[in-house]
């Protein structure tokens, strides 16, 4: 299979990529890792007339720790996040990076591309929604920084304007006493998940949750921030009862579509179970325990 013919443009800088997008208009698409775009083009679900390749822009791929922040270049590959010691200090980031698809896709796919594509099953969006995350965007009018929470509009739709692109993703490091976990259930490595849950907690003492971020993936048109599930934990001791209440609130917050991966009811139940497990894992990590977490193949 091969895509419809298109013209290929290689941007040498972000500035040039933005002007190419502005000049070529709606029929142009950005090529980052290409792990979604190229399959979509081969299946003729997307037939852009122009591709603007970002891969030859220098210095767009990095994980840079700085004053309580982690800065990710938009073109940072999942595998680079997986291998980054700075990113490993925030275990939920490592869970995500090390679990996306398979080695080959992680070697190629990018963090910026995952967010900009806004696939409802994308892994990065729910994970980063549990941490204070900002997206630095560049367009013809210059640069603007947006909270990730305001970034997603609908399935495959973000607030990015026509000639705008992501330059950098900035994550604030969680304070000491924090821990998180990201769980995804999928049939096999290369496929999209049936449902995912990201939980990031802060414990005031070893038992009481002072802050909670919970987000769900693949169970709605956009990643879902489960505010009521978070509220069920905040200020509470992490007892089986509180954890169950949070899981039930997360199940209620999701809006799954029935498909080949499962019925809506199954996915809703799955979300509850994943949130429950992720809370327990996040709490252990918040208490300083080293826990290995990986995606679940079922």
Partner 1 sequence: MPDEIPRVPIALRVNGKRYALEVEPRLLLVDFLRRELRLTGTHVGCDTTYCGACTVLLNGVSVKSCTALAVQADQSEVLTVEGLEQDGRLHPLQQAFADHHGLQCGYCTPGMLLSAYQLLAKSPNPSEAEMRKGIAGNTCRCTGYQNIFKAIRAAAAQMRGR
Residues binding partner 1 (CB under 8 A): 1-8, 10, 31, 34-35, 38-39, 41-43, 49, 51, 53, 55, 79, 101-105, 107-108, 188-191, 294
For residue 65, with 0-12 CB atoms within 10 Å meaning exposed, 13-18 middle and 19 or more buried, which class applies? Answer: middle
Residues in the chain: 298
Whichever of 1 and 298 has its CB closer to partner 1, that residue is 1
Whichever of 188 and 290 has its CB closer to partner 1, that residue is 188
Q: How near is the Cβ of 185 to partner 1 at its closest, in Å?
A: 15
Residue showing tokens 């840079």: 64
Whichever of 78 and 225 has its CB closer to partner 1, that residue is 78
Return phi, psi of residue 26, to 5°: -65, -20
Cβ atoms < 10 Å from Cβ of 227: 14
Whichever of 48 and 256 has its CB closer to partner 1, that residue is 48
Q: How near is the Cβ of 291 to partner 1 at its closest, in Å?
A: 15
| Rounded Cα–Cα distance for residues 192 and 215 (Å) | 17
Q: How near is the Cβ of 24 to partner 1 at its closest, in Å?
A: 12
| Rounded Cα–Cα distance for residues 35 and 13 (Å) | 22
Taking the alpha carbons at both ends of the chain, their separation in whole angstroms is 30
Residue 131 and residue 90 in contact, taking contact as beta carbons nearer than 8 Å = yes
Whichever of 33 and 223 has its CB closer to partner 1, that residue is 33
Whichever of 101 and 171 has its CB closer to partner 1, that residue is 101
Q: How near is the Cβ of 88 to partner 1 at its closest, in Å?
A: 15
Residue 269, token pair as written in the block:
């139940």
Whichever of 10 and 71 has its CB closer to partner 1, that residue is 10
| Rounded Cα–Cα distance for residues 251 and 229 (Å) | 9
Measuring CA to CA, how many Å separate 173 from each of 70, 123, 231, 264?
A: 7, 19, 21, 35
Q: How near is the Cβ of 181 to partner 1 at its closest, in Å?
A: 18
Whichever of 112 and 256 has its CB closer to partner 1, that residue is 112
Q: How near is the Cβ of 201 to partner 1 at its closest, in Å?
A: 26
Q: How near is the Cβ of 295 to partner 1 at its closest, in Å?
A: 10
SS3 298: coil
Residue 70 and residue 26 in contact, taking contact as beta carbons nearer than 8 Å = no
Residue 143 and residue 165 in contact, taking contact as beta carbons nearer than 8 Å = no
Q: How near is the Cβ of 74 to partner 1 at its closest, in Å?
A: 17
Helix (H) or strand (E) holding 21: helix 14-24
Q: How far is CA 61 from the centre of its chain?
A: 17
């Amino acid at each position: 299979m091969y895509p419809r013919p298109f013209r290929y443009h290689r941007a040498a800088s972000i500035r040039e990529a933005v002007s190419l997008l502005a000049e070529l208009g709606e029929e142009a698409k950005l090529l980052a890792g290409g792990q979604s775009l190229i399959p979509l083009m081969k299946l003729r679900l997307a037939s852009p007339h122009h591709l603007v390749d970002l891969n030859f822009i220098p210095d767009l791929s990095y994980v840079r720790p700085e004053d309580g922040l982690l800065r990710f270049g938009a073109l940072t590959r999942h595998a680079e996040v997986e291998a980054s010691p700075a990113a490993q200090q925030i275990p939920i980031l490592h869970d995500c990076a090390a679990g996306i698809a398979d080695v080959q896709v992680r070697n190629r796919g990018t963090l910026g591309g995952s967010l900009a594509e806004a696939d409802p099953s994308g892994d990065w969006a729910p994970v980063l929604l549990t941490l204070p995350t900002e997206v630095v965007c560049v367009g013809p009018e210059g640069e603007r920084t947006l909270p990730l929470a305001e970034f997603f509009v609908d399935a495959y739709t973000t607030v990015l304007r026509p000639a705008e692109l992501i330059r950098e993703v900035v994550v604030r490091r969680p304070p000491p006493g924090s821990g998180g976990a990201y769980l995804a259930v999928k049939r096999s490595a290369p496929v999209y998940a049936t449902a995912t849950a990201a939980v990031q907690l802060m414990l005031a003492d070893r038992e009481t949750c002072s802050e909670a971020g919970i987000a769900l993936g693949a169970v709605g048109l956009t990643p879902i921030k489960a505010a009521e599930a978070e509220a069920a934990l905040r200020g509470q001791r992490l007892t089986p009862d509180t954890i169950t209440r949070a899981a039930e609130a997360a199940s209620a917050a999701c809006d799954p579509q029935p498909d080949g991966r499962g019925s809506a009811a199954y996915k809703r139940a799955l979300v509850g179970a994943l949130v429950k497990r992720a809370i327990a894992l996040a709490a252990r990590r918040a208490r300083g325990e080293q826990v290995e977490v990986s995606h679940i193949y079922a």
